[in-house]
With several copies, the nearest count.
Chain A
Amino acid sequence: MLRVLFFARLREQLGCEALELASEPGIDSIAALRAALSERGPVWKEALADANLLAAVNKSLAEPGTPLVSGDEVAFFPPVTGG
Chain B
Amino acid sequence: MRVQEAAFSPDQLQRSLPAAGAVVTFTGNVRDAGAGGAVDSLQLEHYAGMTEHSLQAIAEEAAARWALAAAHVVHRVGRLDAGEAIVWVGVCAAHRAEAFAACEFIMDALKTRAPFWKKEHGPQGARWVDARASDVARAQRWQLPRTGDADGAPGG
Taking Cβ atoms with an 8 Å cutoff, the residues of A that contact B are 5, 7-9, 30-31, 34, 52-56, 59-64, 66, 75-83
Contacts and interface: CB of A to CB of B under 8 A. Distances in A.
B16 to A, nearest CB: 20
Contacts of A78: 117, 128, 131
Contact of A81 (B53, B96, B130): B130
Interface in B47-64: 47, 49-50, 53-54
A10 B53 CA distance: 22
Contacts, number: 107
Contacts of A56: 47, 50, 115, 156
Contact of A80 (B28, B111, B153): B111
A82 B75 contact: yes
Interface in B114-149: 114-119, 128-131, 136
Interface of B: 28, 44-47, 49-50, 53-54, 75, 86-87, 96, 107, 110-119, 128-131, 136, 150-156
B47 A77 contact: yes
Contacts of A61: 54, 113, 151-156
Contacts of B107: 83
A52 B131 contact: yes
Contact of B118 (A54, A55, A64, A81): A81
A83 B156 contact: no
**What does DSSP make chain B's interface, helix, strand, loop or mixed?**
mixed
Contacts of A34: 156
B57 to A, nearest CB: 8
A31 B112 CA distance: 21
Contacts of B154: 54, 61, 79
A67 to B, nearest CB: 12
Given A9-B128, A79-B131, A55 B113 contact: no
A7 B155 CA distance: 16
Given A30-B156, A61-B156, A80 B112 contact: yes
10 shortest interchain CB distances as A-B pairs:
A82-B116, A55-B156, A79-B131, A8-B117, A59-B50, A63-B155, A9-B128, A81-B129, A83-B111, A30-B156
